[in-house]
């Protein structure tokens, strides 16, 4: 195999190279089988090939050395050329600096020469201009204007420039000698000014923006320039208010003028600001006055709604105008315009608001009480009336009948929603119309009105009426509707609390009025909770009183000491059935009237009183063996009823009572063992003894010895 440098090009794999060499050597590969393999021939081929590789390596090495020498020679030549170029560059840079200095010198000379020429030419030009002005002044002095600039209407721009300068010169002349010529110049000044304004007006009507720009630029130096702006503003508004919404029309007008005014006037922001001022002080102010003055004294509701609506739409328009360039402090500028329109209405806004809210709230309440044919009465909270009420409730003495409300709660969710809706709207108006410094104070005034009419005049009145309507505990078949009052009062107060958080808090959150409002709310809650607690306590007393009546009427002494011990067919007494039915009904009513932990608290109190009643009731009778079994059955039924309370303490009390009733039937020999049982071991010995004393065989069986 011929050896060349191309065989060693990348990628080079030594094993493959040797394999190819062996394969091409006769007798070196696997061709012909093992017999054809010739190791000597292969060795000879390897030795020859190695010699060829050594020769090729020497040849390549010589070539590399030659190339390295050539590269070093070229590198030296390149370095020499770079040095020559650097020297040439330095020479060129020196020439450039010299040229730059020469150019600067020539430029200085040219500027100096220009200044000298200007110094000579400027006085000459001024002299020429002064000569022309003197010529025109002489024409006014002679009383005959002959110059083409004054007679040719197409040269009005040049005439305006001349007459403006002559007008300034005339101001400096003494009046006694030049009064006539000063008058003629002033007259011509005025005529040209009017002519320019008319030209501007015509160009505006024709929509010629370029001509308007030219005329405005000429008028800029005249006294009547502001009149030109006024004419522009007036004509812009012609036909602009065609819709029913003047605020939308004003916004569209300002957007259109904003695009155009920069192409006409040199001070577009001033012109646009003057247009906006004109719109606010004339159009909007007149519109607002027409809308509000009509209902200001006759209809407070409509007046407040219109004021809120107009003020909101005006501030929205102001927000849209903020995107335009109106000068440095456009926020203050627009705020002053809004204030100028509404100042007379906002000064006494809160007085109108609170007056309307009071009358409206009073009307809503009165309309409700009228629909119930109810005349609100004064509920005594002190003095003789209060003393009578307390004595009647605590002693059941007949000090006059309680108020009969025929089951009416005198609470209406519809009334509450109406009052809260009116107050919500008042808060919204207060937020929009009040000055930021007055906002917390005004919001607090509205809140006090809500408290007065919702919490005091409606909820508190209903609670007082409900308390006065609760019958005494010894009344029979009493209608205990106070729980309905509790249920509705809780619902209403949740609505009141929601409005407090949603609408009042954002208005007072960062002011001292926050603590005042929270304190007032806390006082209202405490007053209501105290009256609710009192009413619930009295209602529970009435429930216990009803149970007493049932037990007194239905329970007989023979129930627990029957004449025929062997002929008792009932599982529990009739009194027990009726009491349990009554209790279940009241438990369900309590659960429906309250929520949260209040249900458990009231049910626990009722359960404890219910247990005390049954305990004391059972203490009144003597029990035979069969009567004791019937008492156990009754208590088991009471315990089943107590499970509906879902109060562990109540169930535990009835479990203990059931264990006590077992003492009525247990064998005398086992009495001591039962008394030391798990449920009775912790009870006072006197309680156990008192139950054992109820047994009919207490004396005959000598049971007292177990407690001596």
What DSSP string runs through 83-111?
A: HHHHHHHHHHHHHHHHHHHHHHHHHHHHH
User: What pLDDT is stored for residue 161 in this prediction?
Assistant: 59
Q: Compute the average pLDDT of residues 348-361.
A: 93
138, pLDDT greater than 90? no
Long-range Cβ pairs for the range 378-385 (8 Å, 24+): 379/461, 379/464, 379/465, 379/468, 381/464
Rounded to whole angstroms, the Cα distance separating 324 from 364 reads 48
User: What pLDDT is stored for residue 8 in this prediction?
Assistant: 61
CA distances from 284 to 281, 311, 492, 575 (A): 6, 11, 43, 82
Rounded to whole angstroms, the Cα distance separating 650 from 8 reads 104
Highest mean pLDDT among 57-66, 128-137, 205-214, 239-248: 57-66
Rounded to whole angstroms, the Cα distance separating 665 from 695 reads 8
352, pLDDT greater than 70? yes
Q: Mind listing the pLDDT tens digit for each residue in 376-386?
A: 776 554 445 55
Rounded to whole angstroms, the Cα distance separating 223 from 164 reads 10
144: enclosing H helix or E strand: none
Strand partners, 291: none
SS3 helix, strand, coil % of the chain, rounded to 5? 75, 0, 25
Rounded to whole angstroms, the Cα distance separating 425 from 698 reads 77
Q: Compute the average pLDDT of residues 146-152.
A: 53
Write down the residue that tokens 């303490």 correspond to. 649
User: What pLDDT is stored for residue 309 in this prediction?
Assistant: 93
In degrees and rounded to multiples of 5, residue 668 shows phi and psi of -55, -35
Q: DSSP H helical segments within 500-622, as ranges?
A: 505-508, 513-554, 574-593, 597-618
CB atoms within 10 A of CB 513: 20
Least confident segment among 180-194, 363-377, 390-404, 692-706: 390-404
Write down the residue that tokens 């590969």 correspond to. 29
130, pLDDT greater than 60? no
CA distances from 477 to 317, 408, 472, 579 (A): 68, 17, 11, 13
Rounded to whole angstroms, the Cα distance separating 218 from 582 reads 102
Spatial neighbors of 636 by CB under 8 A, at least 6 apart, are 572, 658
* Percent of the chain at pLDDT exceeding 90: 27
CA contacts within 13 A on the Cβ side of 623: 25
The pair of structure tokens assigned to 454 is 């919702």
Please answer whether residues 181 and 170 qualify as being in contact, where contact means their C-beta atoms are separated by less than 8 angstroms. Answer: yes
Least confident segment among 132-136, 316-320, 481-485: 132-136
CB atoms within 10 A of CB 544: 15
159, pLDDT greater than 60? no
User: What pLDDT is stored for residue 397 in this prediction?
Assistant: 43
478, pLDDT greater than 80? no
234, pLDDT greater than 80? yes
Least confident segment among 147-156, 165-174, 276-285, 452-461: 147-156
Per-residue burial over 586-597, b if 16 or more Cβ lie within 10 Å, else e, is bbebbeebbeee
Confidence of residue 392 (pLDDT cuts 50, 70, 90): very low
Rounded to whole angstroms, the Cα distance separating 149 from 317 reads 48
User: What pLDDT is stored for residue 670 in this prediction?
Assistant: 83
Q: Mind listing the pLDDT tens digit for each residue in 13-43?
A: 777 777 777 777 766 666 556 666 777 777 8
Q: Mind listing the pLDDT tens digit for each residue in 322-344?
A: 888 777 778 888 889 889 889 98
Write down the residue that tokens 């917390």 correspond to. 440
Confidence of residue 54 (pLDDT cuts 50, 70, 90): confident
Nearest CA-CA partner of 580 in 558, 560, 555, 550: 550
Q: Mind listing the pLDDT tens digit for each residue in 428-475?
A: 999 999 998 999 999 999 999 999 999 999 999 988 888 888 888 777
Please answer whether residues 441 and 513 qualify as being in contact, where contact means their C-beta atoms are separated by less than 8 angstroms. Answer: yes
> In the chain, how many H helices and how many E strands?
26, 0
DSSP state of 471: P
Strand partners, 623: 695
CA distances from 356 to 258, 297, 363, 451 (A): 43, 12, 10, 16
The pair of structure tokens assigned to 110 is 């040219």
User: What pLDDT is stored for residue 515 in this prediction?
Assistant: 92
Confidence of residue 624 (pLDDT cuts 50, 70, 90): confident
* Mean model confidence pLDDT for the chain: 81
Q: Mind listing the pLDDT tens digit for each residue in 639-685?
A: 999 999 999 999 999 999 998 888 888 888 888 888 888 778 888 88
Q: Compute the average pLDDT of residues 578-593.
A: 92
Rounded to whole angstroms, the Cα distance separating 412 from 416 reads 6
User: What pLDDT is stored for residue 517 in this prediction?
Assistant: 92
**Residue extents of the structural domains in the chain:** 38-122, 567-706
User: What pLDDT is stored for residue 49 in this prediction?
Assistant: 82
User: What pLDDT is stored for residue 103 in this prediction?
Assistant: 87
The pair of structure tokens assigned to 14 is 């030594």
* Percent of the chain at pLDDT exceeding 70: 80
Rounded to whole angstroms, the Cα distance separating 663 from 649 reads 22
Q: Mind listing the pLDDT tens digit for each residue in 76-91?
A: 989 889 998 998 899 8
User: What pLDDT is stored for residue 426 in this prediction?
Assistant: 94
Q: Mind listing the pLDDT tens digit for each residue in 625-639?
A: 888 888 999 999 999
Rounded to whole angstroms, the Cα distance separating 65 from 6 reads 20
What DSSP string runs through 330-378?
A: HHHHHHHHHHHHHHHHHTTHHHHHHHHHHHHHHHHHHHHHHHTT----P
585, pLDDT greater than 90? yes
396, pLDDT greater than 50? no
Higher pLDDT, residue 174 or 61: 61
Rounded to whole angstroms, the Cα distance separating 669 from 589 reads 47
Q: Mind listing the pLDDT tens digit for each residue in 262-292?
A: 888 888 888 888 888 888 888 888 888 888 8
CA contacts within 13 A on the Cβ side of 417: 4
The pair of structure tokens assigned to 667 is 């064998």
Rounded to whole angstroms, the Cα distance separating 328 from 659 reads 91
**Is 1.20.58 the CATH classification of the domain at 567-706?**
yes
Strand partners, 695: 623
Q: Mind listing the pLDDT tens digit for each residue in 587-623?
A: 999 998 888 888 999 999 999 999 999 999 999 988 8
Rounded to whole angstroms, the Cα distance separating 357 from 351 reads 10
Q: Compute the average pLDDT of residues 153-182.
A: 58
Please answer whether residues 311 and 432 qualify as being in contact, where contact means their C-beta atoms are separated by less than 8 angstroms. Answer: yes
Highest mean pLDDT among 280-284, 353-357, 557-561: 353-357
Please answer whether residues 487 and 500 qualify as being in contact, where contact means their C-beta atoms are separated by less than 8 angstroms. Answer: no
Cβ-count burial of 277 within 10 angstroms (0-12 exposed, 13-18 middle, 19+ buried)? middle
Confidence of residue 400 (pLDDT cuts 50, 70, 90): very low
Confidence of residue 502 (pLDDT cuts 50, 70, 90): very high
With the C-alpha atoms ordered 654, 657, 659, 664, is the resulting torsion angle positive or negative? negative
Q: Compute the average pLDDT of residues 209-238.
A: 78
Spatial neighbors of 653 by CB under 8 A, at least 6 apart, are 607, 608, 611, 642
User: What pLDDT is stored for residue 183 in this prediction?
Assistant: 58
175, pLDDT greater than 70? no
Higher pLDDT, residue 212 or 535: 535
The pair of structure tokens assigned to 213 is 């720009």
User: What pLDDT is stored for residue 399 in this prediction?
Assistant: 45
Spatial neighbors of 194 by CB under 8 A, at least 6 apart, are 224
């Amino acid at each position: 195999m011929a050896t060349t440098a191309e065989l060693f090009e990348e990628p080079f794999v030594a094993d493959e190279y040797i394999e190819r060499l062996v394969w091409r050597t006769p007798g070196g590969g696997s061709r012909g089988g093992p017999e054809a393999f010739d190791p000597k021939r292969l060795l000879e081929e390897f030795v020859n090939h190695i010699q060829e590789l050594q020769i090729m390596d020497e040849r390549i090495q010589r070539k590399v050395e030659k190339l390295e020498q050539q590269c070093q020679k070229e590198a030296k030549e390149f370095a020499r050329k770079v040095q020559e170029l650097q020297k040439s560059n330095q020479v060129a840079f020196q020439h450039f600096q010299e040229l730059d200095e020469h150019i600067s010198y020539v430029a200085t000379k040219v500027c100096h020469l220009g200044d000298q020429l200007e110094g000579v030419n400027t006085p000459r030009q001024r002299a020429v201009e002064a000569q022309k002005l003197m010529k025109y002044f002489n024409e006014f002095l002679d009383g005959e204007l002959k110059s083409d600039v004054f007679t040719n209407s197409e040269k009005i721009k040049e005439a305006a420039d001349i007459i403006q300068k002559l007008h300034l010169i005339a101001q400096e002349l003494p009046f006694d000698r030049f009064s006539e010529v000063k008058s003629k110049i002033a007259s011509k000044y005025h005529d040209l000014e009017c002519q320019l304004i008319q030209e501007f007006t015509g160009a505006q009507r024709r929509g010629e923006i370029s001509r308007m720009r030219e005329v405005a630029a000429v008028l800029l130096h005249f006294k009547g320039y502001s009149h030109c702006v006024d004419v522009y503003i007036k004509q812009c508004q012609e036909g602009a208010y065609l819709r029913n919404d003047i605020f939308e029309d004003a916004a569209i007008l300002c957007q259109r003028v904003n695009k155009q005014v920069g192409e006409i006037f040199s001070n577009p922001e001033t012109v646009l600001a003057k247009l906006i001022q004109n719109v606010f002080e004339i159009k909007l102010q007149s519109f607002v006055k027409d809308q509000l003055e009509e209902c200001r004294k006759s209809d407070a509701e409509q007046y407040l709604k219109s004021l809120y609506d107009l003020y909101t739409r005006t501030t929205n328009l102001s927000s849209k105008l903020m995107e335009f360039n109106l000068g440095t402090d456009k926020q203050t500028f627009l705020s002053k315009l809004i204030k100028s329109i509404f100042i007379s209405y906002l000064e006494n806004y809160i007085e109108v608001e609170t007056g309307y809210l009071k009358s409206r709230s009073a009307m809503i309440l009165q309309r409700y009480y009228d629909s119930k044919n109810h005349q609100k009465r004064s509920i005594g909270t002190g003095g003789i009336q209060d003393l009578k009420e307390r004595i009647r409730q605590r002693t059941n003495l007949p000090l006059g009948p309680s108020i009969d409300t025929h089951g009416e709660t005198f609470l209406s969710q519809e009334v509450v929603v109406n009052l809260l809706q009116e107050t919500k709207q008042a808060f919204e108006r207060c937020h929009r119309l009040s000055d930021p410094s007055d906002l917390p104070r005004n919001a607090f005034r509205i809140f006090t009105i809500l408290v007065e009419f919702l919490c005091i005049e409606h909820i508190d009145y209903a609670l007082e009426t409900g308390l006065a309507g609760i019958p005494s505990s010894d009344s029979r078949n009493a209608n205990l509707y106070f729980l309905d009052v509790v249920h509705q009062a809780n619902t209403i107060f949740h609505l009141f609390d929601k409005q407090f958080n949603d609408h009042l808090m954002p208005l007072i959150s960062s002011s001292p009025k926050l603590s005042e409002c929270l304190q007032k709310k806390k006082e209202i809650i405490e007053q209501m909770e105290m009256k609710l607690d009192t009413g619930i306590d009295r209602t529970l007393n009435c429930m216990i009183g009803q149970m007493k009546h049932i037990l007194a009427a239905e329970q007989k002494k023979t129930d627990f000491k029957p004449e025929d011990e062997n002929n008792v067919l009932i599982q529990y007494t009739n009194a027990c059935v009726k009491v349990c039915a009554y209790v279940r009904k009241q438990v369900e009513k309590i659960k429906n009237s309250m929520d949260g932990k209040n249900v458990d608290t009231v049910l626990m109190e009722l359960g404890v009183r219910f247990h005390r009643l049954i305990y004391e009731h059972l203490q009144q009778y003597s029990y035979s063996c069969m009567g004791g079994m019937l008492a156990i059955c009754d208590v088991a039924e009471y315990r089943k009823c107590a499970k509906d309370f879902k109060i562990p303490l109540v169930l535990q009390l009835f479990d203990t009572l059931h264990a006590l009733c077992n003492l009525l039937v247990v064998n005398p020999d086992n009495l001591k063992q039962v008394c030391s049982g798990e449920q009775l071991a912790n009870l006072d010995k006197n309680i156990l003894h008192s139950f054992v004393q109820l047994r009919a065989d207490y004396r005959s069986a000598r049971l007292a010895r177990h407690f001596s």
